[in-house]
Structure 1
């Protein structure tokens, strides 16, 4: 196997991403408990509020209630190393924002989320840098969309926010419990909303204009909408 473990399952690690764990990252000089990949190739844009209103169907508060493993491939099991996926059931709470004409979100969502990487008989939790694993015992805000095959998914690695205690940024991040750290710079939803309330996020999303190219294809599934928008840009 290559030096970096590669997860390539079709709907793995929050919105069908191909992820490359490259080592143990640090936050404030302390190594987290999870193996942290520096980035992920997302199916859909998920960083800015424009991304959210262009491709999400719903932005909702969720709480994971159960989970199960998605086993590694036979090849990875034979090699003794690889990626073990995780599928989590989320209870959906408050709906914070809905795209006009979007399908209603179910009361319970099953999402493929970050799992584990194994090597040499050792298993470690996996996360993408700066993102949440979506763990039981925590609350989150997620931007989700119904894909062309009818399944629901988060948009990508930027589409989930810790939300313990009603404060955006408080909760689980990279497998560790953290407190919100408001920032004065950055145009991402995560940076702009840190330390704020869900109501403030709703105001931001209602004021945000979708990408015009995506808006022209609002009747298409989000992945097709994104492909059309890219082709026209």
Structure 2
């Protein structure tokens, strides 16, 4: 069986500004292994950017909902401090091709992209070498891997100035762990999840209707993306929380 370790990653999400390794890797299109003897997996826990439990959450906070396919990825080099310490994280910059726009907000900050870059979990390395690495995934969400397809709710984060990191370029980002859905063979819930391939039936068995965390993603397991799009089209947006709707401050402004 795949062994999983749960850790908490204290960071400002996966919008890292680390240097990207120079060699690009074109994905092979092969799905993740489904053998019982699969490698260990570290599950990282982090806070969501926006609420993403309900259809109202999606249409309130997302600019677009899209079907995507990973096409290219690059490793993101760890910081020099991590290299010197001999342990740290290696993230991935994955290029996602937008195959279809399922829904768009009337107030979207930008038109839906034809492709965009996504900062994804990669590996944790220990024992003084980046070769001693263990795969990482976000707890309760897809890892975003080759050979798979996904439905994502995304919003545009404008460029901002961070006192610690300098200027962070504008980018498309997800709402939270519940806003990314496996979508292999045209079936929601089927495909890669936490680095392991699952069927929609297995996903349904793992989800209980009475679970207090039962979400829109759980509800649409086994359905098509078009079914989800119809629900979103018939849902009115709510009122963003005060924190989410507050005007950008100096920290979120351009460094220029």
Q: Which range, TM-score by smaller chain?
A: 0.7 to 0.9
| Residues 65-103 of structure 1: CA deviation (Å, up to 9, x unaligned) | 000111111111111111111110011011111001312
Q: 2:90 aligns with which of 84, 94, 100?
A: 84
**2:22 maps to which residue?**
none
Q: 1:164 aligns with which of 167, 184, 187?
A: 184
Q: How many Å separate the matches in 2 of 1:5 and 1:73?
A: 19
Question: 1:30 deviation in Å?
Answer: 8.7
Given that 1:5 and 1:117 are in contact with CA atoms closer than 8 Å, whether structure 2 keeps it comes out as no
**Matched residue pairs, number?**
201
Q: How many Å separate the matches in 2 of 1:84 and 1:209?
A: 40
Q: Which portions of structure 1, spanning 4 or more consecutive aligned residues, are displaced by more than 6 angstroms? A: 29-32
Mapped pair 1:8 → 2:11: yes
Mapping of 1:124-203 within 5 angstroms? 124-149=134-159, 150-180=170-200, 181-182=203-204, 183=207, 185=209, 186=211, 187-203=214-230
Q: Gaps (5+ residues) in structure 2?
A: 1-6, 17-35, 160-169, 248-256
Q: Gaps (5+ residues) in structure 1?
A: 14-28, 215-223
Given that 1:12 and 1:85 are in contact with CA atoms closer than 8 Å, whether structure 2 keeps it comes out as no
Q: How many Å separate the matches in 1 of 2:70 and 2:230?
A: 25
Question: 1:170 deviation in Å?
Answer: 0.6
TM-score (norm 2): 0.71
Mapped pair 1:68 → 2:88: no
Q: Highest Rg: 1 or 2?
A: 2
Question: 1:32 deviation in Å?
Answer: 6.4
Partner of 2:181, secondary structure, is: strand
Given that 2:60 and 2:240 are in contact with CA atoms closer than 8 Å, whether structure 1 keeps it comes out as no
Q: What is the root-mean-square deviation in Å for CA atoms of aligned residues?
A: 2.5
| Residues 16-64 of structure 1: CA deviation (Å, up to 9, x unaligned) | xxxxxxxxxxxxx998642113x31122222322221111100000000
Q: How many Å separate the matches in 2 of 1:117 and 1:9?
A: 17
Q: How many Å separate the matches in 1 of 2:225 and 2:156?
A: 22
Q: How many Å separate the matches in 2 of 1:98 and 1:225?
A: 23
Partner of 1:53, secondary structure, is: helix
TM-score (norm 1): 0.77
Q: How many Å separate the matches in 2 of 1:32 and 1:195?
A: 27
Mapped pair 1:117 → 2:127: no
